[in-house]
Amino acid sequence: MKMSRRGWNNIIIFAVASMILIFKYVELNNQQSESEQQLAGQLLPQGATILRIELPELVIERVGTQWRSEPPTERSIAVIDAWLHITLEPWQNALGGAASSQGVHIYLANSAAPIELTLFELGHQRWLTNWQGQLLSLDEDSYHALFPTTSL
């Protein structure tokens, strides 16, 4: 039994459409998994530009091309860099009601309202929420990079 030219055209069209759908599905899955991996543990959105950051004991703001801090600190640029590039481990457990909390406000260049993050402390353990509301665990080195001690 021979197939007509119209029948072969239908088979070819169906095969090509199927291949396009398969390639598109694989591409979308790869993009989604890469973006989830990049954003997991990030404190701020990718490509964010900080204008002002209000920490519990320190305020750093951009004035022209320089950074000004109150109270003055020599590590302003290092602190801003840490907030932009540090990656922390997600925390899956509950904190409980005994943890104390402090707010952190970060003003970005393309946002009218600040991003509000929360620092939780319980003993020597610390956690921080990121811009997506995800709870991240802070180790001692990361804490000191993000929240420098001010010396008068």
pLDDT in tens, 83-119: 998 888 888 777 666 778 899 999 999 888 999 999 9
What is the pLDDT, as a whole number, of residue 34? 55
Q: Residue 3: is it exposed, middle or buried by C-beta count within 10 angstroms (0-12/13-18/19+)? A: exposed
Measured CA to CA, the distance from residue 83 to residue 117 in angstroms comes to 12
User: End-to-end distance of the chain based on CA atoms, in angstroms?
Assistant: 94
pLDDT in tens, 39-96: 567 888 888 899 999 998 899 999 988 999 988 888 889 999 999 988 888 887 776 6
Q: Which residues pair with 70 in a beta bridge?
A: 59
- Compute the C-alpha angle 95/100/104, nearest 5°: 100
Q: Has this prediction a pTM greater than 0.85?
A: no
